[in-house]
Chain A
């Protein structure tokens, strides 16, 4: 389980998280929605310790991320797969090595690494791409390799940062299916950051709406779909939020 307790985070004079509190239950997909620049990706980076809160605590499986020593943080990261917005593949490495890098760090035998790489690429339907380099892949393929890199670690948690941003509708639907399949086959707890409403409804069990540094609304997909909150309704329906400060 991942818990945020009254987390505050600022960058200079700009407050991004302002008393952010949220519990992400195990075994489900929680979607974090909100306007652009609302702090969704910042929230995600707190879970793996890429950012530290100015105040408050982030707990993963009961351990406070900010209080972990180096080894503890490395062990925590080994349990989490992170899918970056623009994939963040290592340019100088082939697809195989991109996937194998984290597995080598876990000191798995070479046969096991090969098996896991092949299995992960099969899951994202990119078998046979092992020798290609990121520069040779389309945007959608890069994102799929990014997902494959995350799931190759067989993680307990998978964090997706804007997985469908910049993709055409068909590829977006394929990515949604991929996230659902990854959860089905791995049973991992997923956190998806997105402002793509259709995608959120397709992959989420629960949705939390982040606004002005804190959770404005959290509930099941059905609850959020039926909400009367004018700001969230405006977001879902894709129309201007009259009278609300975005």
Chain B
């Protein structure tokens, strides 16, 4: 029998997940700290949303392994994600 294995990017060197976790935690703390400065809403909201979308991007790229997967998964996920980002940004800002 041929030696099949799951077609996951198992043997590539992935970015250290603890490092990604550290960045996500620091970004979360940064978000909370930014709110303490009582910036005008039209400045505060885009900053917070930008940080949140970067965090979401990190989760998708490194925890969900989109960065290492076949491009078709990226297309499947990014298409509705772009719509979601557009919707939330235009409504919130």
Indicate whether A and B interact.
no
Residues of B with Cβ closer than 8 Å to A? none
Residues of A with Cβ closer than 8 Å to B? none
